[in-house]
Structure 1
Amino acid sequence: MNQMIETLLNHRSVRSFKSKALDQEQIEAIVKSAQAASTSSFIQAYSIIGVTDQEKKDKLAEIAGNQSYVAANGHFFVFCADLHRHKVIAEMEKADLDDSIESTEKFMVALIDAALAAQNAAVAAESMGLGICYIGGIRNDLEAVKEVLKTPEHVIPLFGMAVGYPEQETDLKPRLAMEHIYMENEYLQDRSVFEKQLHTYNETTSEYYRARTGGKREDTWTGQMARMLGRKSRMYMKEFVEKQNLNKK
C-alpha cells in the first residue's frame, strides 16, 4: 500500500479546526489539484469560490444550520456547478448554445465535474496534513447563498468545504462492506443477500456508535437512513435550478 492510498483510506470529517489560516501556497496547491481532476470533454463546468470575508463566512455558517466550523476554519471553499462561462462562450462565438447549456445532460456534467474537482482538492488538503469537511448545508437556502456569493445565472453553489488544521483527531467511521458496493458484470438484486449485508453493517455501525459515545448511542445505519430520508428537505431545489436556467431540457 502506498502513501496516497493510505491518505485516502484515512479520510475522516473534521469539524473542529485550529485558528490558523492556510497560506497562499497551500490554497493554490489545493485549487490546482482540483483543476487537475478529470473533466468531461474538457468542459471544466465548475468554479471554486474561496470565502475569506468573515462576515460572509458567518452568514454561510448560519445558512448551513449554525455549523461553527463553516465560520471557523483555515479556509472555506464553495464548489459550484458553472455553465455561466459557457454562456459567455456562446456570445463570443456567436453561437446558440442554449439547448445544450440548459439540458439535463450538461447539468449532470457540471455536477460531476465539480464533484471530481472537489475530491481532488480534499485529497490534496489531507495529503498536507490538513483536515476537511464537506458542507452540504449551504443548500438549505441557495437564494441566500447566491446573494452572499453574488453568483450569476447558470451557476449553482453545490457544497462548501471547510479546510484547516485539525484541533483533534476524529474517529474513522466504518463504511459499507466492499461486497455491498462493488459488483461484477451486473447489479446484484438478490434481496436476501442485500438484507444480510445490511444487517451485518447495522451491527458494525451500532458498535461504532456505542464505542464512540460510551454506550449512549447505538444507531443502526438502516434506521439512521430511514429517519433522514423520511424528512423532506430542500424540496425547492428543482425550482431553484430551473430558475438558474439549468436542467430544463
Structure 2
Amino acid sequence: MTSKQRNSVADGTAARERVGTRYRDPALAEELSHVTWNSTLDVMLSHRSVRYYLDQPLPANTLELVVAAAQSAASTSNLQAWSVIAVEDKDRKARLAGYAADQKHIHDAPLLLVFVADLARLRAISDERGHAGVALDYIEAFIFAIADAAFAAQNAAVAIESLGLGCCYIGAMRNDPQAVANELGLPDESMVVFGMTVGRPDPAVATDVKPRLPQGIILHRERYTQIDPELMAAYEARMREFQAEQNMRNIDWTEQTAARIKDVAALTGRHVLTDFLKARGFGLK
C-alpha cells in the first residue's frame, strides 16, 4: 500500500468516525468517508462543551494566541465591531457567575472570555473624524456588531480546541446585562453577547459529542422546506440514546426546545434586553 493510499484509508476512517459520532447516521458517515479529511475538520466535528476543568493554569500566551485566531475571523466591512474582555481574577469571575445562574464552571475555569458587541469604539472614531455616525443608530449596526462578536468567538473556540483545551459558551451572561456591564465597565453602545470559559478539560469527567439535527432538516437546497417528521423522529431517538449514555434526563428534544421558548419566564431575565439596549444608547431604528 502506498503512502497516499494509507492516508486515504486513515482519512476515510476519521471522517466516518467523526461524522458518525456527530449525527449517529451510518449512511451519512459512509457517504462523507470519501471526502478529503484534515485536522481542522477533525477539531470542528469533535466539538463538545466542557464544564469540568483541571485546576491548572493555561500555557503561556494562550490568551494572545486565541485572540489572534478570533481576530482572523470575518468582519462586516472590516469594522471589527466587537471586543473581548479576559477575566482571570477569581473574585470577579465569582461575581460574574452570580449574574449568570452561578454556573460552577465559571468559577473553576482559569479564564473567562466575555465577548462584547461594541459600537462604542465606532462611535468614538466617528466623533473624532467629525461625522454624525447616523448609521450606528439603526438596528443593522447592532446586528453586524453581534455577528462580528459571534464570528470571532467561534474562531476562538476552534483555536482553543485545536490546542487540546476545552471551552463552553455562557449565554447566561445576558441574564442580568446591566450588572455585567457595570462589573466590566462597559461604555454605552456596547453589550455582552456571551461569555466563554476556557481551561484544561478534566479527563475524569467524560463528555461525548452531542448529536445534531439531521442535515435534511438544517440544509435546504434552493428553497426553504418544512420539517420532515420522519427525520425528526429519527433525531429524537438518537438524542434519547445519547441522554441514556450520559446519564441525562430522558426527554424529547422537541419538548425540551418548546419548553425553552414557551413563556417570558423561560428567558431567565433576558426579556428586558430591548429596554436595556435603548437605555445604553443603542438606536435600534
Give the TM interval when normalised to the shorter protein: over 0.9
Give, in whole Å, the separation in 2 of the partners of 1:14 and 1:68. 12
What residue number does 1:207 align with?
A: 241
Q: SS of the counterpart of 2:117?
A: strand
Mapped to 2, the partners of 1:102 and 1:243 lie a distance apart of: 13
C-alpha distance in 2, partners of 1:247/1:4?
39
Alignment of 1:209-248 (within 5 A): 209-213=243-247, 217-232=249-264, 233=267, 234-248=270-284
Aligned residues: 243
Match of 2:177 among 105, 130, 142: 142
Query: Alpha-carbon deviation of 1:210?
Result: 1.7
Alignment match of 1:53 (pick from 89, 97, 100): 89
Per-residue CA deviation, residues 70-100 of structure 1 (Å, 9 max, x unaligned), is: 1111211000000101111111101101x21
Could you say which structure has the greater relative contact order, defined with CA pairs below 8 angstroms and 6 or more residues apart? 1
Question: How far did residue 217 of structure 1 move?
Answer: 2.8
Unaligned runs of 5+ in 1: none
The TM-score, its normalising length taken from structure 1, stands at 0.94
Q: How does 1:105-124 map to 2 (within 5 A)?
A: 105-124=140-159
2:143 maps to a residue whose letter is M
Task: Give unpaired runs (5+ residues) of structure 2.
Answer: 1-36
Task: Classify the secondary structure of the residue corresponding to 1:12.
Answer: coil
Q: 2: CA distance between counterparts of 1:137 and 1:11? A: 20
Amino acid of the structure 1 residue aligned with 2:249 = R
Q: CA deviation at 1:247?
A: 4.5
Q: Within 5 A, what are the aligned runs for 1:1-249?
A: 1-97=37-133, 99-168=134-203, 169-189=206-226, 193=228, 195-213=229-247, 217-232=249-264, 233=267, 234-249=270-285
Determine the C-alpha separation between the residues in 2 that align with 1:157 and 1:24. Answer: 26
C-alpha RMSD over aligned residues: 1.2
For the residues of structure 1 that align with 2:57 and 2:245, how far apart are their CA atoms?
Answer: 33
Separation of aligned partners in 2, 1:129 and 1:119: 16
Moved beyond 6 Å, runs of 4+: none
Tell me the TM-score normalized by structure 2. 0.83
SS of residue matched to 2:164? coil
CA offsets 1:104-139 (integer angstroms, 9 cap, x no match): 101100000000000000000000000000000111
Q: Structure 1: how far apart are the matches of 2:185 and 2:122?
A: 18
One-letter amino acid of the structure 2 residue matched with residue 138 of structure 1: M
Aligned to 2:22: none
C-alpha displacement at 1:25, in angstroms? 1.3
